[in-house]
Amino acid sequence: MKKFTAVVLLMAALLLTLPGCLPVDGEPETGGAGRAGEVSRAAERDVEPYEPETIEGWGDGVNSFAAYAGNKGLLENLQFELDLVESGAHLAGSELWWINDEAVTGLYGEDTIADGVCHEGVFRFTFQSPQEDSELARLAGLSEEELRLWAREWNWLNYGYLVRGWEFAATYKPLPEGQWVTPSWWLPPEGLTGKGEDIGPDGPWPDIAGPFDADGNPLPTPEPTPFPEDRQAVEDFKFPGWEPAEGHEGYEISTVHATADGRPLQVRLRWKNEEGFGFWAQLPAHALDTFWEREGEWFVKVTVPEGGEDSEPESSTSSTIYYHTEAGTFEMPADGPLFPRWEDAEEPASVEGVSAELVSIQDFHMDDLELKVLSVKVSGDGELPNPDPDNLRVDYLYDGAWHTVYRPADLENQILGAVGIGREDEAEQGFVVPADALCRAGQYRLCHEDFGALEFTIE
């Protein structure tokens, strides 16, 4: 599974500015000697790029299996998640520092909830401003057209995201005194080089791009601004350096991204509490004053619920997971194993004079694939159809509604079971599906245009 990850970092020439130089909420300056002078004075400080820090053995294997749409689901299932990936970390019953949803909803309303995931011992919480593009552009000192520009620096995100996205992070345990770790998602993946030439004009993450309507369908968007040809190669990336945040003891700050003429777009902060837990925040530069207004309120102490591989997570039916596959990105319930896909099911075909019966379900292995073979007996009057496996789908009944959890496109190297015809009015067909298409207990239906819907139950 690919975890959804947004990483934003800046080239050395635009790395650091004084906190007082950053634009704040309210009417932004759009140019003039005042801002130019502030940026110039910041540049004179010549803050060196930062060498990312590591601690041997820190967070080894402490990763969540999935990214949760709503951090509460991650917390409720945390020990269950860690057991899934065999991290060896036993956090059930322990105390952690967690994103304060009241601070988030107090900022942008009840509908804004931070999502949650865990990478190598660091919890990451993300949300985005629901403000209109026109308002965001005004606050950032940009035009709406400029929101469609792409940053030159790895990993080449667009301005619209940089001035909309918020991100907080916290360590799963106290850091050693005087030491830090660097969140892994802020660093280029090992072995990545070049300028992203293969990602096309729509940017680096077209598979998780938006915007979407309330039903998750993509909304029409303007023609994308071409990706900058002079963008920075990954090997030229320099991690933004830190300097003390003036007026805020214990905090350090860096500018992550700025426009070509030096206007800060995104900033990053880090600090520790008295217990030694490490924290980070990455936010639009224009929202820095808002961050300081809620200083000390962004995290709350929580107790990790009990849980594990053999226990059913409590209160998990309200949480969902964003599951990224080659077939797309699906939001599905987080209270059990994950299907290949999750989407509202269409009504199955109604076929007169033909009936289907499930004869057996058998395990089958091909290379590293775990498969299931469903033997189906089709009966009817006269000559029977030979069902095309490409037209098959599997539905699952959840909370009173049917959801499609598998289509043949989800399985590479499809294998078709043998067709054995006993009589003119009866035939048996074998359908091969991935094992995770039937990964939960409950009611299923096999749907095909040649025989309609065949319902069955897996205990």
Rg of the chain on CA atoms, in Å: 26
Which 3 state secondary structure label does DSSP give 343? Answer: strand
Integer Cα distance of 451 and 459 in angstroms? 24
User: Among candidates 296, 330, 316, which has minimal Cα distance to 410?
Assistant: 330
Cβ 341 vs Cβ 410: under 8 Å? yes
| pLDDT at residue number 24 | 33
Pairing state of beta strands 122-128 and 165-171? antiparallel
| pLDDT at residue number 164 | 93
- Size of the chain in residues: 459
Give alpha helix (H) positions in 295-433. Answer: none
| pLDDT at residue number 73 | 82
Phi-psi region of 210 (alpha: psi -120 to 50; beta: other; left: phi over 0): beta
| pLDDT at residue number 287 | 96
Integer Cα distance of 242 and 403 in angstroms? 48
| pLDDT at residue number 182 | 94
Integer Cα distance of 158 and 199 in angstroms? 14
User: What does each of the 459 residues of the chain score in pLDDT, given as a tens digit?
Assistant: 323 322 222 222 222 222 333 333 333 333 332 233 333 233 334 566 778 889 998 988 888 877 777 888 888 888 888 877 777 788 888 899 999 999 999 999 988 989 999 999 999 999 999 999 999 999 999 999 898 888 888 878 889 989 999 999 999 999 999 999 999 999 887 777 777 655 544 444 443 444 556 565 655 655 666 777 778 888 888 888 999 999 999 999 999 998 888 889 999 999 999 999 999 999 999 999 999 999 999 999 999 887 543 444 333 334 666 555 555 566 778 777 778 888 899 999 888 888 888 888 988 776 566 788 888 888 877 666 666 777 789 999 998 999 999 888 766 434 433 333 344 456 677 888 888 889 899 999 999 888 889 899 998
Pairing state of beta strands 299-303 and 278-284? unpaired
Question: What domains can you pick out in the chain, each with its CATH number?
Answer: 12-303 (no CATH), 339-458 (2.60.40)
Phi, psi torsion values for 170, nearest 5 degrees: -150, 145
| pLDDT at residue number 321 | 62
Q: What is the CA angle 161-321-431, rounded to 5?
A: 125
Cβ 335 vs Cβ 316: under 8 Å? yes
pTM of the model: 0.60
Integer Cα distance of 88 and 302 in angstroms? 21
Integer Cα distance of 265 and 332 in angstroms? 33
Pairing state of beta strands 278-284 and 264-272? antiparallel
